[in-house]
Chain A
Amino acid sequence: MAEEKRGTVYLEGKLIGYVKSGKALAEEIRKNRRAGILSGEINVLYIKRLNEVHINADRGRARKPYIIVEGGKSRLTPELIERLKTKEVDFNYLIRHGVIEYLDADEEENAYAALNENEITNKTTHLEIDPASMLGLTMNISVFPEYNSIGRHPVTSNFLKQSQGLYSVNFNRRYDPRSFILYYPQMPIVNSLAYRALNMKMHPTGQNLIVATSTYYGYNMKDAIILNKAAVDRGLGRSVFYRSYTDEERRYPGSQQDHFRIPSPTTDGYLGEHAYAKLSEDGIVEGEMDLKEADVIVGKVSPPRFLEEQTGFGVGEEKNRDNSVTVRGGEEGVVDSVMLSETTGATRIAKIRTRSIKIPEVGDKFASRHGQKGVIALIVDQNDMPFTKDGIVPDLLLNPHSLPSRMTFGHMLETLGAKAGSLKATQFDGTPFGTHGKDCVDKYGKILEEYGFDKFGNETMYDGRTGRKFDAQVFTGVIYYQRLWHMVSLKLQVRSRGPVQILTRQPTEGRPRRGGLKFGEMERDALVGHGASLLLKERMLDQSDKAEIWVCNDCGDVGYYDYIKNTPVCQTCGGKSLEMVEISYAFKLLLDEVKSLHILPRIKMKSE
């Protein structure tokens, strides 16, 4: 049947018609696109199995450039490369002249791309511009990824995104909700093509540390690391933490609006005179003011949440409630900058940036560019650190056990390369798929030997505490380390007493609310399983929502204590004989809810 053989044509997913040969149509579109007759933004896919042609020209398609290969020959000829070098032609020229084209996810299905020029066969349709272009931005910025285990690459990319450094040069004028700036950022000694091309040295993410692959009295077990105290004092990993607060004078229906001002003592929810002490007359903090937890940054009064009843003849001051912004729980700092502006809605807006210095401390997280993360477990005095025969004291001690199981050979290669680079005062290239491992080791080894070091980076080391020489040599070198923004000072949480929820009277949840940790169902079952009945009662009642209620002896309903008449009262039956019972407040709530189902739960008591 001839009808079945005709090709179906879809434009941006919609059926627009039929052609005699779908393959011919696809080829013609490609030919015209390469010739510049059709827009270069058009992509076409031919599905042989279904004899369908899909043409896409809509926005939002991720596309990637490829060099076109025709008849087993790359269209990017040596002559063109020469002209590129002399800047006679540019990238856009190549696109216009059908040397390079962009493929989308659909058209890639029809392509057969070679990684390198020498891999081109007769079947090849395209050539990768660079083998590293199969990787994303973050992996292209990292070095030697091809020597690492595949599972480390996503970890590496994530760590790069979490690193502190110089994310923006105008950080001083920005009001990001939170940001970190490294005091002394450095550019890595071993870097990649993409790193240089993107001028990433303007946005460094870490520092080159001297790392010895050594244990230290068991303090760097698992993923713990040891830092040299002298190095920390010299500014290793030192950073500043900016936190911005925003507040706005919102307008409400009924010509009411918020006001920035120091609230008067009659305001609802007034925090007390001392809390507003750091505000200036306009209700906003002064610059360079020291701030402690729960200090008011912006004093703001808002109109009442609900419309109030009209009292008297409308005289008397309108009731207001305090709606001030305070420093977040567990944080402190100095007012770095205050900005007052206006929104598009013609309301005033205040932005306040606070700053605090974060010196590396026990519990802060560091990572190399190879997915090797670690948490500081100990900061050791320089004189107690191991040192090499030349008297070099490492900045960081990495446990050697973190290397074999993770198979991050790139980590070791970078250590060796950066060590050689720092000796020779040069940078080395670690572009993905741009190097040959053995050549690198040979090259670095030669340089190291030139400067009197072991060619494999091993060093004779002495224990800083005892002065004794270590039996084994220690692999030591320089490697780029990043400080990640997971820091204890922003996470530490503790509670012995604290706020409770209004509804249930149970302890609050979460760090900003000074909350406790949940004692859940499984934890409860563990105590039941142990038969620890009193400990269980203490957790579930005494340290939680213990309440004393009065229960009527006659009707069994909940009553209350009348402090004026000094007697308990039952509102249900009017009885005066009530008993005080200790129960969980949540149970009282449950009784109330059951009552809302028109069921009266009665409590019958028995003395024990």
Chain B
Amino acid sequence: MEKNEISKSKLVVPGEAVGTVAAQSIGEPSTQMILRSFHTAGIASVVTTKGLPRIIEIVDARKKPKFPTMQVYPEKKIADKYEKVREIWRKLEDVKVSNLISNFEEDFKSGSMMLNLDKEKLAFHEVTGRKIASELSKKEGITVDQDGDRIKVKVKKKENIKSMRTTFVHVLATSIIGIPGINKAMMLQGEDGTFHITTSGSNIEKVMEIEGVDKWHIYANDPFEVARNYGIEAARNVLANEINDTIKQEGLTVSFKHLALLADAMTYTGEIRSAGRHGIAGDKDSVFARAAYEETVKHFINAGLFGEKDMLKGVAENILIGKQIGLGTGKVKLAVRKTDMGKLKGSK
């Protein structure tokens, strides 16, 4: 957050249209943002959605981000110890059978497949052939035979080729070590010499269980996941931070308070609502305000069926009927006591 912000020296005046101002303050810079999301090639970085598509993703409250990521911090006492952090890292990345073999041969006549393990890959992930065999043998319907660098998998009941093929594909997708959902993990060193891990793919629940991970310092860019594990207020911070980071990436600035307001509006009910038809705008009390936004006829018909009342409290409905809105100068009214009326007339 910005320091010495002038706007912090005073409280917002009652009747200030904070929502409209926030919407304008976010809306104006986003017109300058790129519509296209770039995909940078390379292995050294974790892919994320950028620019306007990312903001739309957050504001629409999509159940799963296109590119979920996590920041995992180790406990303070081991944060600067490379080996200890590497231990955590090893437990994170989801390594499948297919990541550990050089090639495989299928034999549909005998209903078996041969996995040829890759020694280099095994060494990199610090996995042994025995480990793979024991993980595979947990699966039902197959027998596993390990012979050095070769593992033979045989289907117990030979049916048709299609079901055999499905079984083999499942075998290849079997997780050996790591946490499901985390495709890649990278160790990074901060400026203070401590290590942390960035992942592509997220699974806070499982990562919390790993020993040595600081459970209170796991960050994920998926607000729903954060809400499940840390509560709605944490999710609110994720929403605001993610928009802030996305805007900053584009080299634009929006005061954080507008983003915080948006995040608050999306989360104050206790669950994450989108800022559209199915969320904030669709939950408005006023029939007219909802009808003015989208799906006009639907809202009127439902209002007719259920005998809804519109108390004409909001901005949209008052503009529609032509009344002074209850914001800004329309918020306040001049009141004079009846007994004082005489004085007013007398002074004339």
Contacts and interface: CB of A to CB of B under 8 A. Distances in A.
Interface of A: 524-526, 528-534, 536-537, 540-541, 546, 582-584, 586-587, 590, 594, 597-600
B20 A525 contact: yes
Contact of B21 (A529, A534, A600): A529
A537 B328 contact: no
Contact of A537 (B16, B303, B322, B331): B322
Interface in B282-334: 297, 300-301, 303-304, 315, 319-331
B324 A534 contact: yes
Given A528-B20, A528-B315, A533 B325 contact: yes
Given A525-B24, A594-B300, A597-B300, A534 B329 contact: yes
Given A533-B329, A541-B322, 8 more contacts: A528-B325, A531-B15, A533-B324, A533-B326, A533-B327, A583-B321, A599-B300, A599-B303
Nearest to A586: B320
A529 B28 CA distance: 14
A536 B325 contact: yes
A584 B322 contact: yes
B101 to A, nearest CB: 38
A540 B301 contact: no
Contacts of A590: 320
A537 B304 contact: no
Contact of A528 (B17, B300, B320): B17
B19 to A, nearest CB: 9
A91 to B, nearest CB: 50
Closest 4 CB pairs of A and B: A531-B328, A533-B330, A599-B304, A584-B322
A582 B321 CA distance: 9
A529 B325 contact: no
Contact of B322 (A524, A526, A534, A546): A546
15 contacts: A529-B24, A531-B16, A531-B328, A531-B330, A532-B328, A532-B329, A533-B327, A533-B331, A534-B329, A536-B319, A536-B325, A537-B324, A541-B322, A587-B321, A597-B297
A531 B322 CA distance: 16
Of B16, B319, B322, B328, most buried by chain A (CB within 10 Å of CB) is B322
Contacts of A524: 319
A223 B303 CA distance: 56
Contacts of B320: 584, 586-587, 590
A530 B328 contact: yes
Contacts of B23: 525
Contacts of B17: 528-531
Contacts of A587: 320-322
Nearest to A526: B24
Contacts of B16: 531
A529 B315 CA distance: 11
A527 to B, nearest CB: 9
A600 B300 CA distance: 10
* B interface, over-half SS: helix
A599 B325 contact: no
A154 B337 CA distance: 72
A496 to B, nearest CB: 21
Contacts of A597: 297, 300-301, 304
Nearest to A591: B321
A532 B325 CA distance: 9
Q: What band does the interface of chain B fall in when counting residues whose beta carbon is under 8 Å from A?
A: 20 to 34
A528 B21 CA distance: 9
Given A537-B322, A597-B304, A528 B329 contact: no
Given A594-B300, A597-B300, A597-B304, A533 B328 contact: yes
A495 to B, nearest CB: 21
Contacts of B20: 525, 528-529
Given A594-B300, A599-B300, A583 B330 contact: no
A540 B303 contact: no
A540 B15 CA distance: 20
A583 B15 CA distance: 24
Contact of A531 (B297, B304, B329): B329
A537 B300 contact: no
Contacts of B326: 533
A407 B331 CA distance: 56
Contacts of A600: 304
B336 to A, nearest CB: 14
A77 B280 CA distance: 80
Nearest to A593: B300
A599 B304 CA distance: 6
Nearest to B310: A601
A493 to B, nearest CB: 26
B297 A534 contact: no
Nearest to B305: A599
B262 to A, nearest CB: 15
A189 B328 CA distance: 65
Nearest to B309: A604
A540 B319 contact: yes
Contacts of A525: 20, 23-24
A524 B24 CA distance: 12
A534 B322 CA distance: 11
B72 to A, nearest CB: 42
Interface in B17-42: 17, 20-21, 23-24
A598 B315 CA distance: 27
Contacts of B325: 528, 533, 536-537
B15 A537 contact: no
Of A526, A533, A587, most buried by chain B (CB within 10 Å of CB) is A533
A590 B324 CA distance: 19
Nearest to B325: A533
B311 to A, nearest CB: 10
A545 to B, nearest CB: 8
A584 B16 CA distance: 25
A268 to B, nearest CB: 34
A537 B323 contact: yes
Nearest to B21: A529
A590 to B, nearest CB: 7
A536 B320 CA distance: 11
Of A528, A530, A536, A541, most buried by chain B (CB within 10 Å of CB) is A528
A530 to B, nearest CB: 7
Contacts of B328: 528, 530-533
A244 B321 CA distance: 45
B119 to A, nearest CB: 44
Contacts of A594: 300, 304
A551 to B, nearest CB: 11
A504 B325 CA distance: 22
Contacts of A583: 321-322
Given A529-B20, A533-B329, A582 B301 contact: no
A599 B301 contact: yes
Contact of B321 (A530, A534, A584, A598): A584
Nearest to B323: A537
A590 B315 CA distance: 17
Interface in B140-182: none
Nearest to A598: B304
Contacts of A598: 304
B331 to A, nearest CB: 8
Nearest to B287: A601
Nearest to B15: A531
B274 to A, nearest CB: 20
Contacts of A537: 322-325
B293 to A, nearest CB: 11
A31 B121 CA distance: 64
Nearest to A524: B319
Nearest to A537: B324
Nearest to A529: B20
Of B24, B315, B325, most buried by chain A (CB within 10 Å of CB) is B325
Nearest to B24: A529
A530 B17 CA distance: 7
A19 B304 CA distance: 74
Contacts of B321: 583-584, 587
A607 to B, nearest CB: 14
Nearest to A594: B300
